[in-house]
Amino acid sequence: MVAQRLDSKLRDYLKNTRNNLFAEAASNSMSFQRPVLIILDRNLDLPSLLHHTWTYQPLISDLLGLTSNRVVVQ
């Protein structure tokens, strides 16, 4: 519901020629900046995927020092 309202507001804003975000970039050939809107779903924690894979082996290797598939705990 929120995404649909945001979509309609952005489409209306872009249709209006006075408020077109890309009008200045099109007229000025030296300007390559474009606005970017990124919407992420927070149901999945993305930073944790960047730290370790889905298996325990990389986690154990990083934390305990996995060598030749063996961990020595003292």
Q: Which pLDDT tens digit goes with each residue over 27-41?
A: 555 555 566 777 777
Q: What is the pLDDT of residues 4-27, one digit of tens each?
A: 888 888 788 777 756 555 555 555
pLDDT at residue 71 tops 80: yes
pLDDT value, residue 2: 80
Confidence of residue 53 (pLDDT cuts 50, 70, 90): low
Please count the other Cβ atoms lying within 10 Å of the Cβ belonging to residue 14: 13
